[in-house]
Amino acid sequence: MTFPTKPYSSIAAFYESYSGQITQALATVPKSALAAAGIVLSEALEADAHVYACGNGGSAAISNHLICDHVKGIQTDTCLKPRVHSLSATIEIITAIANDLDYAEVFAYQLKTFARPGDVLIVISSSGDSENIVRAVQWARDNGVRTIALTGFTGGRAAKLAEVNLHVAADNYGVIEDVHQSLMHVLAQFIRMNRMPRDLVAARRF
């Protein structure tokens, strides 16, 4: 059943239902997949590998936000120096690729240029079926780049192709994106707190 199924008489009532949907959606994320994603990212950061993220629309915004939390956030009070990049932030090259080649190639083309075996690609896609996302995951998979997909709805092709799939069992774009944003924060904060002096955890703001 989709959400919402009917109009609400007040924004307060809709807020209550929406909040409940987020709580339910958070609980659907497989904990084993979350642990696996944490390991993939931790290993990449410790190996000084590059991490790339990408998404379309609201997912592009999460990809861009990810840079802040995974670069500045993780290295605060730790010895890690994350090399994290958003392929959604490079508007000049995105428009050049889309105009001269194909919008479906905007992320895969960048990966072909920058990524190397051992690097990590994080794709963020509610449908998991955007062609530019699928092509990026496929290229990464074929070229030794590890992959993490954040998906929703049915998961799409990206869910099947990625090494790790953080799937949100929900069917509302806002709810899925809110949970994806939370997952991005959870991964960054967990990695940070496990690399910083134990006595500093309670003394710092996350």
Residues 6+ apart with CB under 8 A from 191: 38, 41, 42, 45, 74, 80
Percentage of the chain beyond pLDDT 90 is 99
Rg over CA atoms, the chain: 17
- Helix (H) or strand (E) holding 164, with range, is strand 164-167
- Helix (H) or strand (E) holding 31, with range, is helix 31-46
For residue 130, what pLDDT is reported? Answer: 98
Rounded mean pLDDT of the chain?
97
For residue 3, what pLDDT is reported? Answer: 96
| DSSP assignment letter at 104 | G
Tokens of 41: 């990212």
Tokens 């059943």 belong to: 1
Judge: domain 30-201, CATH 3.40.50.10490: yes
Using CA atoms, how far residue 99 sits from 86, 93, 144, in Å, is 20, 10, 28
pLDDT in tens, 58-102: 999 999 999 999 999 999 999 999 999 999 999 999 999 999 999
**pTM of whole model > 0.95?**
yes
Whether the predicted pLDDT of 1 surpasses 80 = no
Torsion angle in degrees (nearest 10) through CA of 69, 36, 18, 170: 130
Q: Decide: 119 and 51 in contact? Cβ < 8 Å.
A: yes
